[in-house]
Amino acid sequence: MEKMVNSEATSRRSFLRYGAIGVGLSLVAPLVVACSSASQPAPTATSSGSSNASVSSAAPAATAAKPATTASASAATAVPAAQSGGTSAGPATVRLYTWTAAANLPSWKDAVAAFQKKYPSITVNLEYTPGNEYWDKLTVEYAGNTAPDVIYASPPDAERVATQGMVLDLSQLIKDNNFNLSDINPASQEGYQWGGKIWGICAWNDTRYTIYNKTLFKKAGLPDLPQKWDADFSLDTFIQYAQKLTNPSQQTWGYVFEDNLHAAHFSWLFGQYYWDSFEYPTKAVMDSPDGQQGFQFIQDMVYKYKIAPSVAANMGGSDAMFQTGKVGMVWGGFKSAAVIDKPIKDFEWDISTIPMGKKRVSNLSPNGFQIVSKTKVPDQAWKLVEFDTADQGNELMTRATSMPANRKIDFNKVSPLQPWQNQLLLDALNGGWPDTPHPNIKPEFWTIMTNEMEALMANTKSGADAAKAMAQQINAKFQPYVVPK
């Protein structure tokens, strides 16, 4: 589970800050392209120049403008598909650009070393820029013809840079290199392809499941939660357990939300997705009766059942609060159990399924790699993407990053969790729903949802009113569609 830019919530919040500047980029970029000469990869090639050094050289981060939040699909269709020489990949330097958590960098460096051992003629410069500066720097470097070759992106960002023409359609490279795209979890890959083109390859996917304090459960006289995803654990049982675990005098809570947008996923347990379609969404439908009921349940957790603090009162986040030993249950991602909660010694904890409402469905959070459209080394860049999505690189980075999206990677081999825990997470992925399945889901939609969730959590709007306000405001902005029908 990545917590910074791969968190779709973080990415969404940052998009709008640079909207006006991004529009300026859309005007500047064509001029830059027109003034620059297009060069084909030579037998010995080097990627675009950069003032940035590799991670091992402590690369500085630049601060600059962010791309526009939305763009016409014509920009994407104008990007030529990558021309590939098949499986050949001569000497070159490939720049790999990431925002992953600093704690993950050792495993990324291990993957780079393994890649260079397999392909000794290709040098990889791993460049790290944290947080929002990642996209700022990419924007400036792309406009100045000094962009990296391979970038790391979650679907909201991947879709945005693709529709702006900043990345390659990988279809030809996939064909020429006999890459089996069907090995990638289809639901996770969906956010990287549309309109018959493939704009990236999903490397990892995450989901949510329950992490619970077994010591608090025992003190409250509650049984351990089940070890299977499809086990008997209902919303009614969840409420009953959470009420027994909550003790205001001891500042103990039955449940703590991760943040407002993850809290909104509770509405899915009532059977209603946010959008009318995964393949080509055209409107928001969270205002259906089931959706309204779902959002009301979220509010009831705080004010009716009194089992959770509002997100505004959530001190330090769900992971930090869980580690205090005063929280019975939270929802977490792969890294919560694999890394973040591992050091806990003061109490016993474990993982389980999420409660069953009308449906039991978790969210799907993918991350993957794209090749920048101005790269001069597409074949060598592809070799790196392939290695990091379907080979040893994926295995090495999975240990600190998330769950492999490639189903040929043995999760039990790379995960530090127990086999039954791995299976529970894999079962959670099956049928998981992505927040952003298509570029038609515009970044500003999440600002609307965040604002309405804040009103819901503050008890100034009912679940029905918040759901209706979300749908009404979002549907007023859905057209024109980012990708025309």
Task: For 317-341, write each residue's pLDDT tens digit.
Answer: 899 999 999 999 999 999 899 888 8
Q: pLDDT, tens digit, for every residue of 356-395?
A: 999 999 999 999 999 999 999 999 999 999 999 999 999 9
| d(C-alpha 457, C-alpha 279), whole Å | 31
In whole angstroms, how far apart are CA 279 and each of 8, 190, 307, 433, 436?
Answer: 19, 8, 37, 12, 11
In degrees, to the nearest 5, what angle opens at C-alpha 357 toward C-alphas 4 and 303?
Answer: 70
133-171: pLDDT as tens digits:
999 999 999 999 999 999 999 999 999 999 999 999 999
- Name the residue ranges covered by the structural domains of the chain: 8-205+366-434, 209-363+441-475
3-state secondary structure of 34: helix
Choice among 74-83, 236-245, 355-364 with the minimum mean pLDDT: 74-83
Backbone angles phi, psi at 16, to 5 degrees: -75, -20
**For 83-106, how does the pLDDT look when each residue is reduced to its tens digit (9 = 90+)?**
544 445 678 999 999 999 898 999
pLDDT band at 431 (very low <50, low <70, confident <90, very high): confident
pLDDT tens per residue, range 283-293: 999 999 999 99
pLDDT for the residue 79: 46
If you average pLDDT over residues 52-80, what whole number do you get? 38
Taking only the tens place, the pLDDT of each residue in 402-427 is 899 999 999 999 999 999 999 999 99
Residue bearing tokens 């569609």: 481
Mean pLDDT of all residues belonging to the chain: 85
Q: Which of 16-25, 83-92, 437-446, 454-463 is least confident? A: 16-25
The dihedral built from the CA positions of residue 322, 328, 331 and 332, taken in this order, carries a sign that is: positive
Write the CB contacts of 378 (distance below 8 Å, at least 6 apart in sequence).
41, 82, 83, 84, 168, 173, 371
pLDDT band at 47 (very low <50, low <70, confident <90, very high): low
Residue 338 CB contacts under 8 Å (≥ 6 apart), including other chains = 399, 415, 416, 417
Stretch 48-75: mean pLDDT, rounded? 38
Residue 335 tokens read as 């890294």
* 209-363+441-475 shares the fold of 8-205+366-434: yes
Instruction: Please identify which residue in the block is written with the tokens 């699909």.
Output: 73
Give the residue-averaged pLDDT of 123-132.
Answer: 95
**Greater pLDDT, 34 or 221:** 221
Class of domain 8-205+366-434: alpha beta
Pairwise CA distance, residues 310 & 330, whole Å: 13
The pLDDT of residue 6 is 38
What is the β-pairing status of strands 327-332 and 433-434? unpaired
Given pLDDT bands bounded at 50, 70 and 90, which one contains residue 7? very low
Is 60 exceeded by the pLDDT of residue 38? Answer: no
H helices within 338-437, ranges in order? 378-390, 392-398, 411-414, 419-429
Q: What is the mean pLDDT of residues 428-442?
A: 93
DSSP 126: E
Residue 81 pLDDT: 58
12 pLDDT more than 80: no
Q: Is the pLDDT of residue 463 over 60?
A: yes
pLDDT single digits (tens) 206-232: 999 999 999 999 999 999 999 999 999
Helix (H) or strand (E) holding 96: strand 92-98
pLDDT for the residue 420: 97
Q: Using CA atoms, how far apart are residues 154 and 188, in angstroms rounded to an integer?
A: 10
Whether the predicted pLDDT of 311 surpasses 70: yes
Other beta carbons less than 10 A from residue 408's beta carbon: 11
CATH topology of domain 209-363+441-475: D-Maltodextrin-Binding Protein; domain 2 (3.40.190)
Instruction: Out of 77-81, 221-225, 463-467, pick the least confident.
Output: 77-81
